[in-house]
Structure 1
Amino acid sequence: MTDPVLELTEDAFLGGQLRLMQLKSGHRAGHDAVLLAAATPARSGDRVADLGAGVGVAGLAVARRVAGIDLVLVEIDAALAGLARANADANAIQADVIVLDVEADATAFAAAGLAPDSVDAVLMNPPFNDPARHRISPDTARGTAHMATAATLSKWVHAARRILRSRGTLTLIWRADGIAEVLSALDHGFGSLQVLAVHGDARGPANRILIRATKGGRAPTQILPALMLNDEQGVPNKRVQEVLAGKGSLPLANP
């Protein structure tokens, strides 16, 4: 009998510009990964690291939008890292895939090729569910992808700060109700924050936030106009649909 955990699906992202394999069960990438990629600033020649990359959706989407980046995909799960490597090859995107715990120390990062002050841009979608408030998934990969401890966010932000060059950028997506945690984690070493709230529709509160922070930045924090995935009638936002189809980027990606 086939183990369903090992079954794969091939899914289209960016309107078919990327075709990626991912596990049929467990954590599956969706809008969050594509929105994160669309919010990540990068230029040709930049070294870009996707921390907790999974099967590579967000990082590969950045590489599809910005040609010529030096992409590094970091993933703790060897099986997912293998899929990320296969996805990069299948889409003719050059990427260095590293099996590494984002919470590992500087020595482990340096041994994997991510020395301090060596990256221009980091993007990440850290585990964000509090196990005290959410039922832990029996699927190990799904639980690892979604569940956080009280220290998870600060440790991931610390890892990003360590590998970023001065004036490098960190872009992350997080629960909107956890904005205080994000601002606290970014308080040391980051500035020039730009915050974009993401609403499922115009009638409800935001359920995600996208934040771009600059290492050593000193500009005041900016709250950008909110992003509505659907209008009050539930009609999909045309601009968002274009971004999801790979036809544009979000304001956070602007220099």
Structure 2
Amino acid sequence: MTPPARPDVTADAILGGRVTLRQQARGHRVGHDAVLLAALAPAGCRAMVDLGAGVGAAGLAFLARVPEATGTLVEIDPTLAALATENVADNHFGGRCRVVVADVLRLARPSGPPAPAVGMADLVLVNPPFNAAGAHQTSPHAGRARAHIGGAELLLAWVTTAYRCLAPGGVLCLIHRPEEMEAIFAALAGRFGAAELLPVHPRPEAPAVRLLVRAVKGRRTAPRLLPGLVLADAEGVPTIAAEAVVRGAGALG
């Protein structure tokens, strides 16, 4: 991998090198969350929207796994959107993927930006800001703070935007903190059903640190809990199941 010429940008890889990423050396950095979110997405989906895409990790990971799909990456930060555009080109997805600079909150409104269009997707990936302002220390780095500070109202707005982007029967894939399960169900209510919940544990005996949620627009079927994913064994060695997803581009659930 050829490193970028800019000292403030690093060149990294995910999915065992299947996807290369340019990202800022400081601020919010791509981790397992983006890969896990992409792995939750059904392979039968063909028109994907990645909300709050950052440098494009989740959306590009999905496109790498599903070569028949196309994608739209939505990012509010022009700097991150520019890096996402470079990453689309670097991974040779130019004919399948575009980047849109837009505010997810404005997309939730009927008078919001025209792209992505209402009902154009059959899959929306959502990795929203996780933490309630005031409950956690805010990062001095603006990009990191934007990526991590959220709350129930913000989550509702992101889910509403996903609902507007999806065609009937389209799939929402969401990653969040397990502590916010009540807010997640409140955001899904009346919009999405048939929710499948997949907890992610750092160790076999440790509480879940992430909750993956897959739900269907317009369905009313009750939710179900899937077997959890354990990232590492008691000695910290990645599990076979986790490696199959994180490095092998395997699917979840």
- Same fold by TM (over 0.5)? yes
Partner of 2:3: none
- Say which of 154, 160, 168 aligns to 2:156: 154
Per the alignment, residue 60 of structure 1 pairs with 60
Name the CA distance, whole Å, in 2 between partners of 1:237 and 1:191: 31
The 1-side partners of 2:187 and 2:19 are apart by 33
Please tell me whether the aligned partners of residues 106 and 115 of structure 1 are also in contact (alpha carbons under 8 angstroms): no
Q: Distance in 2 between the 1:225 and 1:244 partners?
A: 17
Partner of 2:35: 34
Offset at residue 13 of structure 1 (A): 0.5
Distance 2:206 2:126 in 1: 25
Q: Distance in 2 between matches of 1:43 and 1:208?
A: 24
Q: 1:86 corresponds to which residue?
A: 86
Q: How many angstroms does 1:6 deviate by?
A: 7.0
User: Is the Cα–Cα contact under 8 Å of residues 39 and 249 in structure 2 kept in the other structure?
Assistant: no
Given that 1:157 and 1:186 are in contact with CA atoms closer than 8 Å, whether structure 2 keeps it comes out as yes
Task: Check the 8 A contact 1:6/1:23 in 2, yes or no.
Answer: no
Root-mean-square deviation (CA, aligned residues, Å) is 1.4
Q: Counterpart of 1:27 in structure 2: which amino acid? A: H
Per mean C-alpha deviation after superposition, the further-off stretch among 227-236 and 202-211 is 227-236
Give the C-alpha shift of residue 180 in structure 1: 1.1
Determine if contact 1:106/1:116 at 8 Å carries over to the other structure: no
Per-residue deviation, 1:221: 1.1
Which consecutive segments of 4 or more residues in structure 1 shift more than 4 A?
none
Q: Give the count of matched residue pairs.
A: 244
Q: 2:110 aligns with which of 106, 121, 124?
A: 106
In the alignment, the residues of structure 1 paired with residue 162 and residue 128 of structure 2 have an alpha-carbon distance, to the nearest angstrom, of: 11
What is the DSSP-based 3-state SS (H/G/I as helix, E as strand, rest coil) of the residue aligned with 1:133? coil
Q: Percent identity?
A: 43
Matched, 1:70 2:67: no
Query: In 1, distance between residues paired with 2:215 and 2:129?
Result: 19
Alignment of structure 1 residues 1-255 onto 2, 5 Å: 7-43=8-44, 46-93=46-93, 94-104=96-106, 105-109=109-113, 111-112=114-115, 114-251=116-253
Local SS of the residue matching 2:35: helix
Aligned-residue offset at 1:215: 0.3
Bigger Cα displacement from structure 2, 233-242 vs 172-181: 233-242
CA distance in 1, matches of 2:7, 2:148: 19
Q: 8 Å contact 2:73–2:99 — kept in the other structure?
A: yes
Displacement of 1:203 after TM fit?
1.4
TM-superposed CA distance for 1:168, in Å, is 0.3
- Residue 54 of structure 1 deviates from its aligned partner by 0.1
Q: Say whether the 8 Å CA contact 1:85–1:95 is kept in structure 2.
A: no
Contact 2:152 2:183 in 1 (8 A): no
The amino acid of 1:250's aligned partner reads: L
Q: 1:63 to 1:234 in 2, by over 3 A?
A: same
Write the distance in 1 (CA, Å) between the matches of 2:249 and 2:79: 31
Distance verdict in 2 for CA 1:218–1:188, change over 3 Å:
closer
Task: Could you tell me which runs of 5 or more consecutive residues in structure 1 were left unpaired when the two chains were aligned.
Answer: none
CA contact (8 A) 1:42 1:121 kept: no
Say if 1:81 and 1:99, in contact at 8 Å, map to a contact too.
yes
On the 8 A contact 2:122/2:171 being kept in 1, the answer is: yes
Shift of 1:226: 1.0
| Residues 65 and 246 in structure 1, CA contact (< 8 A), matched pair in contact too | no
Q: Return the offset for 1:177.
A: 1.1
Letter in 2 for 1:17: R
Q: 1:242 offset after TM fit, Å?
A: 1.6
Q: CA deviation at 1:247?
A: 3.7
Mapped to 2, the partners of 1:6 and 1:159 lie a distance apart of: 35
Give the TM-score, by structure 1 length: 0.92
Measured against aligned partners, the alpha-carbon deviations of 1:189-247 in whole angstroms (never above 9, x if no partner) come to 11000000001111111010000010011322110011111123433211111211134
